[in-house]
């Protein structure tokens, strides 16, 4: 029951996933290169990975939702083992 509700809820945001994921990658890059320490960068990475993991866990093809560079980054950084 929860899976159907959650899948429907996430489906509503997938249309914005491409631009959101690209903006998150830019923010991560900025944080890595311009902010002291990497606490902010790790936080942003976690937010992006969690969002993409949630989509993948529901069987949504993340690779088709995000820019190629985000997919490559996610594939290399996800610790969930999902991609």
pLDDT of residue 80: 63
**In a structure prediction context, what are the per-residue pLDDT tens digits for the chain, which is 83 residues long?**
666 777 777 777 787 899 999 999 999 999 888 876 678 888 999 999 999 998 888 788 999 999 999 999 998 887 665 55
Question: What pLDDT score was predicted for residue 83?
Answer: 54
Q: Give the per-residue pLDDT at 77.
A: 81
How confident is the model at residue 37, as a pLDDT?
A: 63
Nearest to 48 by CA among 63, 27, 68, 64: 27
| Predicted local distance difference test score (pLDDT) of residue 26 | 94
Q: For the range 40-49, what are the long-range contacts, defined as Cβ-Cβ under 8 Å and sequence gap of 24 or more? A: 45/77, 48/21, 48/24, 48/74, 49/74, 49/77, 49/78, 49/79, 49/80
């Amino acid at each position: 029951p929860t899976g159907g509700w959650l899948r429907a809820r996430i489906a509503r945001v997938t249309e914005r996933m491409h631009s959101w994921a690209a903006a998150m990658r830019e923010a991560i890059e900025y944080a890595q290169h311009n902010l002291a320490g990497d606490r902010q960068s790790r936080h942003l990475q976690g937010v992006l990975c969690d969002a993409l993991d949630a989509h993948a866990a529901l069987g949504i093809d993340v690779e088709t939702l995000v820019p190629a560079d985000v997919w490559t980054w996610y594939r290399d950084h996800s610790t969930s083992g999902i991609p």
